Structure formats: structure tokens, C-alpha cells
Amino acid sequence: MGKGGTMEENMAAWLVGINTLKIQPFKLPDLGPHDVRIRMKAVGICGSDVHYLKAMRCADFIVKEPMVIGHECAGIIEEVGAEVKHLAPGDRVALEPGISCWRCESCKEGRYNLCPDMKFFATPPVHGSLANQVVHPADLCFKLPENVSLEEGAMCEPLSVGVHACRRANVGPETNVLVMGAGPIGLVTLLAARAFGAPRIVIVDVDDHRLSVAKTLGADEIVKVSTNIQDVAEEVVQIGKAMGAGVDVTFDCVGFDKTMSTGLRATRPGGKVCLVGMGHDAMTLPLTSASAREVDVIGIFRYKNTWPLCLEFLRSGKIDVKPLITHRFGFSQKEVEDAFATSARGGNAIKVMFNL
């Protein structure tokens, strides 16, 4: 409560133009019977947030009017709707950011991440969660185990991408995994693959610092590659030596012609290549030779039903996401601008986190 017993004004970080974020008032919708109101405590910056800031668009999603940014988040329940039974004020929760319709064919099949009417935090025209408070459906709020911090709760969102990819590719104790790209999503995919039982994981990148981080996070071998497509054949040999066995599953967490070409060539006959990163919209790829070796190409989009498993991995210590959080900022106009600049620069920044 603010002065004189009135509710304090809810503020949020609004994307108002290219490279322009402003902290401004954000009016919340009324609390429905199945909703909860959450005070945000930890919000991470994702690559898509940076894309929107730099270009006012990400893939086919275009920002046409001011939008609240942010979707990797956790907070504390302040108020619950009349029908909410499993949560109470004071509970610490991680939020799944996408609200599907539950009526379409994809939803009814259980593949709700493919819902055409998905309302997803900070995907235009839906507002995000970098705000003091948000209202969200209670069924998309997951109570944090006692030993899991709010920051770790916010990390469930990127981790979910790795978990969903591992499920789609059927990673298990007999799956040797190659990860293309040691950015934030490549690193969570590495952590997820290990938690799913992958016995050997090789990760490749162009950047020495990111590779050293991957090594400390448990990659068995690292391979430094170039950006030159001419080097693919030579690098496939290097990857094979590093793996010391066939590559069963490759996760391309970059999504460029070169990374996908490398993955298709490096994967053993009968293996799988899972495209996780969305770098290039169109690619020229050696599909015929991959097809002749019966290499399956699978795609993923976001995730489904991943939060309970992510939280169990964090609770049990099977996955530790804490080393991925490299920078922390508060919630002021200057800090919001600095945080996004830090995230966009890359370098030694992996996950930039707001503490509200």
C-alpha cells in the first residue's frame, strides 16, 4: 500500500520505439476467478527481448504499439482469485508465460505450445512481465521448492527450451549429444541433456569464453569453429574425434546455414538433428545426403508441460542454473537501459537478471 492507504501505482518497462525503453504506469486487468496477482521479483532478459528492442520485431512478430517487455520471470503471490485453491498469498512462484486457448486442435492434442491463439508475455500485442506486478492464470504459476530461489525460478523459462528439445529428440542414457552454439540456449540444452542422462556431450562455438563456460558446466569436449562455411568438412572430422563415437542427436542452438549443415553432416546415420535456434529464416542445406542416411530433422517451438520437471531438476540439484546468471540490475530507468545494453553486447554476459 502507498501513502494514505491507496494502492501504489504499478510500473513497467515499456518498449516505446527502437532502442527506447521507458518505465511507465501499467494498469493491470481485473483479477478473474482463476487468476493470481503476482509481485515480480526476478525477470531475465532473453535474446527475443533484445531483438524487439533493436528492431521492434522478432521473426514474424512486429511491435506496432508500446509493449511491456520481459517473459522469464518469478515472483510472490499477492492475491488469488475466488476459485484458486492451490496457491495462496506469500507463495513464491515461477510463471509459464504463454496462455493457450485450450479449444483448438493443437491444445486438445496436448501440444498447446503450437496453439495459433497463444497469448505469450511480451510477444506483440501481449504485454510482458518486467513490471512491479502482473495478473496471470493460476494454472501457469508453479510453486517453487524451498531450496529454489526466485532467480532460479525465472531461469525455468530458458531451461524449458532445453528440456522440451531433449524430450522431442528422446535424449537418454544412450544418446551422445552434439550442441551447436554455447549461448544461453546452447548452455541450458547442455544442462538439460546431461540431466536426461546423455553420457557424452560435445559443444561447439566460435567464442573461446563461451566454450570455457560450457566446459565448466560439464561439456565433455569443446570444439572451436569458424564462421566460414568452407570449413564444415574439416570441423565435422574434429567433432567426430571429440565425440569419439557417433553423434546420436545434434541440437542446433544457433540456426545458421553453417551450424545446420555441420549438424546434418556430423550426425550418425539414423540420428536426429533438432533445430532449436532461429538465426536464419531460410537456409541452404545438404538435405539429400542427410536424407540418404535417414537423419531425422525435428523442430521445436517454445515448450509444453516443462515447469514441474525443471523445478524438480533444480530442487534435486541435477541442474544448477546459478552459474548462468552473470549480471544483475535493479528496476530503475537507468538500470533497465544498462541491463539491456549489457545483454545486447554479449561478451561475458550470459543471463542478465532484474531483481525487483
Residues 221-239: what's their mean pLDDT? Answer: 97
Kindly indicate the confidence band of residue 7, based on its pLDDT and cuts at 50, 70 and 90.
low
The predicted-structure confidence for 180-215, as pLDDT tens digits, reads as follows 999 999 999 999 999 999 999 999 999 999 999 999
Rounded distance between C-alpha atoms, residue 211 and residue 215, angstroms: 6
Residues 220 and 136 grouped into a single domain: no
Structural domain range at position 176: 162-299
Residues 93-110: what's their mean pLDDT? Answer: 98
Please give the pLDDT value at position 281. Answer: 84
Residues 177 and 282 grouped into a single domain: yes
Please give the pLDDT value at position 346. Answer: 86
Cβ 43 vs Cβ 354: under 8 Å: yes
Specify the CATH number for the domain of residue 58: 3.90.180.10
The predicted-structure confidence for 313-339, as pLDDT tens digits, reads as follows 999 999 999 999 999 999 999 999 999
User: Is 127 a member of any domain?
Assistant: yes
Tally the domains of the chain.
2
User: Is 337 a member of any domain?
Assistant: yes
User: Is 240 a member of any domain?
Assistant: yes
Residues 109 and 74 grouped into a single domain: yes
Which of 307, 183, 190, 316 is closest to 249 using CA atoms? 190
Please give the pLDDT value at position 8. Answer: 82
Judge whether residue 295 has pLDDT over 90: yes
Judge whether residue 6 has pLDDT over 80: no
User: Is 73 a member of any domain?
Assistant: yes
Q: How far is CA 128 from the centre of its chain?
A: 15
List, as own/partner pairs, every contact residues 269-273 make where C-beta atoms lie below 8 angstroms and the sequence separation is at least 24, other chains included.
269/293, 269/294, 269/295, 270/294, 270/295, 271/246, 271/247, 271/295, 271/296, 272/169, 272/170, 272/248, 272/296, 272/297, 272/298, 273/249, 273/297, 273/298
Cβ 193 vs Cβ 177: under 8 Å: yes
Which residues does residue 25 pair with via DSSP β-bridges, in sequence order?
Answer: 11
The predicted-structure confidence for 236-253, as pLDDT tens digits, reads as follows 999 999 999 999 999 999
User: Is 311 a member of any domain?
Assistant: no
User: Is 307 a member of any domain?
Assistant: no
User: Is 152 a member of any domain?
Assistant: no
Residues 109 and 234 grouped into a single domain: no
Specify the CATH number for the domain of residue 207: 3.40.50.720
C-alpha cell at 25: 504506469
